[in-house]
Chain A
């Protein structure tokens, strides 16, 4: 983990910030494989509503998650202006549909505040913490919990 080692020495980490509706989120840049435009997805039967379907990513089948819907917010109506953040957790790769990528942030661990108590368990499971950047609040996303696992579907 070269990146972890770098964190230790500089205390900094790079994050990609994106917008969904009027909220801002961010993920660790090391998890992001690429960012691409929206292409229509092939719907999958019996999938949760937030799984828009699958697309062809250079020969691999990539599931697309509507990030807004995943968080229980208003489902997206994808347009060509939407972007897909292709992110990897462990061995799986998933595309997150978001409104737009807004920023690349360099922050230190001390900039990340714990998730406030008022959030419900549901929100807390996605949030690893919050950041205050130039008067904006950006939520650091726990990517693993965004991924569609079977046990979550069943729940």
Chain B
């Protein structure tokens, strides 16, 4: 592992921390006051800062630092995380995400925005009451600490300019070096905290030439000795070219747990008084700048060290020998026994907690994809093998057939398991949406609350990746067009804060994502008029409410009075619909005036396989996605009714449904087939309404591996993708919605494909 890999890990971790941060802040926003939530939020920012510091990402560090400081106020109950505070924090989380992305991918961030937020965060940390959201944060002079915080100095101390060169210039090394007299008297705490007088003396010896005297006067009589206590003191003369600070720094960790006196030997003090030495307050932060004398192991006085080791070693030995003899020692094991027991209890409890989380591994996505491809091949090969065995096996050897059946089952299981590897919760996409909601809410001056449910619903990663864009459009649409302004909502007797609810769940082998708003609902009159104006429907068309609602999915349809920045041009619901369709999904809307709209998307769990019905049309084998089919019918002559020149309807339980000749539409044959000779597949199409697709025969149902046509060719109108059947031949998968649309008189045009459009 090298630093680049660790950096990659850092950015991955940042993403997780940012998600953690956002979800924590949203919980706080919902009134959660669990200290652990606050801690988790704090920790997320803290971790990002820590890693960023290690990689010298200063922008990220300084912003995270300010953010952390404010969060610390919340953590220590000095700042109440009310809605206004959280608004600032959520926006800060967005900026932190931007800064992280900029650090990873290059590029810049909105600096004015981050500066503004730094000010707001600092104001909060300083106990200033947040202003109403619309007003800019007070321009009041920022507090002293507001100057860009250098990432290294976190103590908040004012660093003291201090140059060592001044002391060293003019001083001939090794000639007439100053001698320091050091008194070092450890307290028992020094040992209790794992420090060791021996090691301190060793480090001290590396600074120069030293002689040492151990003062054992404090050692009591054996029967009064506490084995945990410290009785020795050391007087050290150190001849060194280093300054007093270097000597003190050796005792940095022990400083509080010992008596320490460092002074220049008398005869030299006089000479040194003339040096421009200022009394410098002992400041730990300065140690970072201290030259590392102790590193130079070669320079140390080897002999001196040995002496000290022997001396200190024997002293330590003496102490430990004494331990065995003292009566009070008996108390120690008893005490530690108790604490060991409590530690054991603690560890048992934590083990329980740990077992709840299943271990995971990180795998390169390429490896998974390769596996998925291979399994796809396996499925095809298995099907081909079965088919050729059946064709060649006239006497039906049952052992071979049984083996084949088992193979088929195993193959299917392997396939399912492999697909499950790619399955991931929709959580990250949902979390991204909360930022979108905040931004749109800010831009439109609306007050919006996003509620998410079913975040842990899993779906193929490819689907998740492609879901973000249409979902973003829909959320924007819901806030921009769906929800009313707070004033209008109050007038309508509603909560001024609108709610957008984003839900995911599994339903019959698909994932269903719902986006509901409690806004005004679709204005059907307006939509209808617009559709008439745009020649989408005839002025006297008789449309159901559902059909009117679904008009918004038509290309170029926008009901907003003016084109807003948010929904933008060309980002209509038609684009959303096409993206969803490109994923093999469907979308529809239901709306109640005054109560809001619900968009429902149903998507396949994976883009790699599909359950299909294999059919024959004009001697060609086609696959119809099973999810599109409502039922299959064997048409009777009496149920077929001609309608106009070319149209035919089929009556099903007293309703009439248009017949669609698939072979004609795909141009596989020149004349219409006789419906009575074929089978009708009743399909449900987007935008409501059913159609009966005429095919010649049904071969069976099969799970097929989806193969791209676009990879080597181009999008084919009316065809969603291809697959390879058991006989090794390519079969085309029907794009049911495109076929139905074509049957409405719209030609199968290449520009209908998303691939062509984008």
Contact = CB atoms under 8 A, between A and B. Distances in A.
Q: State yes or no: do A and B touch (Cβ within 8 Å).
A: yes
Interface of A: 40-47, 51, 53-56, 59-63, 91-94, 148-150, 153-154
Given A61-B722, A148-B713, 19 more contacts: A42-B722, A42-B729, A44-B713, A44-B732, A45-B666, A45-B718, A46-B666, A53-B730, A54-B709, A54-B713, A59-B373, A59-B707, A60-B712, A61-B707, A61-B724, A63-B713, A91-B711, A94-B712, A148-B714
Given A40-B729, A42-B731, A150 B708 contact: no
Contact of A47 (B377, B716, B728, B731): B716
Interface in B728-758: 728-732, 748, 750, 756
7 contacts: A45-B748, A46-B716, A56-B729, A61-B711, A61-B722, A94-B712, A148-B714
Contacts of A41: 730
A55 B730 contact: yes
Interface of B: 373, 376-377, 380, 620-621, 665-668, 707-709, 711-714, 716-719, 722, 724, 728-732, 748, 750, 756
A61 B716 contact: no
A147 to B, nearest CB: 9
B712 A63 contact: yes
A44 B712 contact: no
A56 B714 contact: no
A150 B756 contact: yes
Contacts of A46: 666-667, 716-718, 748
Given A56-B730, A154-B750, A62 B712 contact: yes
B748 A60 contact: no
The residue among A40, A46, A47, A92 with the most chain B CB atoms within 10 A of its own CB is A46
A44 B717 CA distance: 10
B449 to A, nearest CB: 45
A91 B576 CA distance: 28
User: Which 3 pairs across A and B sit closest by C-beta, in order of nearness?
Assistant: A45-B666, A42-B730, A63-B713
B380 A59 contact: yes
A60 B711 contact: yes
| Residue among A44, A55, A60, A148 having the largest count of chain B Cβ atoms under 10 Å | A44
B380 A61 contact: no
A33 B667 CA distance: 32
A47 B750 CA distance: 11
A48 to B, nearest CB: 11
Contacts of B718: 45-46
Nearest to B747: A46
Given A45-B668, A59-B377, A150-B756, A54 B714 contact: no
A55 B728 CA distance: 9
Nearest to B722: A61
B711 A44 contact: no
Contacts of A91: 711
B728 A56 contact: yes
Contacts of A148: 713-714
Contacts of B665: 45
Nearest to B374: A59
B434 to A, nearest CB: 37
A59 B376 contact: yes
A139 B748 CA distance: 37
A150 B667 CA distance: 19
Contact of B750 (A55, A61, A150): A150
Interface centre among A43, A56, A154 (most CB of B within 10 A): A56
Contacts of B712: 60-63, 92-94
Contacts of B667: 45-46
B726 to A, nearest CB: 11
A70 to B, nearest CB: 14
A54 B712 CA distance: 10
A92 B716 contact: no
Question: Chain A CB within 10 Å — which of B666, B718, B724, B748 has the most?
Answer: B724
Contacts of A56: 724, 728-730
Nearest to B617: A45
Given A61-B708, A61-B709, A45 B750 contact: no
Contacts of A150: 714, 750, 756
Contacts of B731: 42
Contacts of A42: 620-621, 722, 729-732
Contacts of B756: 150
A91 B724 CA distance: 21
Given A44-B719, A56-B724, A61 B668 contact: no
Nearest to B707: A61
A4 to B, nearest CB: 25
A56 B712 CA distance: 12
Contact of B713 (A40, A61, A154): A61
A62 B728 CA distance: 13
A59 B708 CA distance: 10
B380 A45 contact: no
A55 B724 CA distance: 9
Contact of A153 (B666, B719, B750): B750
B722 A54 contact: yes
A61 B730 contact: yes
A59 B724 contact: yes
A38 B556 CA distance: 46
